[in-house]
């Protein structure tokens, strides 16, 4: 999974349309292989972002859960902890003698 796309379901306060649009943008960039489309491709790029954002909003609105809402701060903290562990593993792998 692309690390730039985050879980958007079950947050308090609820996920905003801006957050959904940012995730759609990251998805389209990843799929297209382009961060800045050419002028000729901009309409298709923008349309894809709009359609994916709309589908994502519908999905999030329709999902049902009994789990308590997540905290963005706690989720960010867990992400930082995962990142630190990855970096520690990489350092150990680089410094390990064969």
The domain tally of the chain equals 1
Please answer whether residues 21 and 8 qualify as being in contact, where contact means their C-beta atoms are separated by less than 8 angstroms. Answer: no
4-60 pLDDT, tens digit per residue, is 678 899 999 999 999 999 999 999 999 999 999 999 999 999 999 999 999 999 999
Residues spanned by the domain of 37: 17-69
**Inside any domain, residue 34:** yes
**Inside any domain, residue 28:** yes
**Inside any domain, residue 47:** yes
pTM: 0.76
**Inside any domain, residue 9:** no
**Inside any domain, residue 44:** yes
Q: Own/partner pairs for 24-32, CB < 8 Å, 24+ apart?
A: 24/48, 24/49, 24/50, 24/52, 24/53, 24/56, 25/49, 26/2, 27/2, 27/52, 28/52, 30/2, 30/4, 30/5
């Amino acid at each position: 999974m692309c690390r730039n796309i985050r879980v958007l379901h079950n947050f308090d306060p609820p996920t905003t349309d801006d957050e959904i649009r940012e995730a759609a943008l990251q998805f389209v960039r990843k799929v297209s292989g382009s961060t800045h489309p050419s002028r000729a491709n901009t309409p298709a790029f923008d349309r894809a972002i709009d359609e994916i954002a709309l589908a994502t909003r519908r999905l999030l609105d329709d999902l049902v859960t009994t789990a308590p809402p997540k905290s963005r701060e706690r989720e960010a903290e867990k992400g930082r902890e995962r990142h630190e562990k990855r970096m520690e593993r990489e350092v150990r792998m680089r410094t390990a003698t064969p």
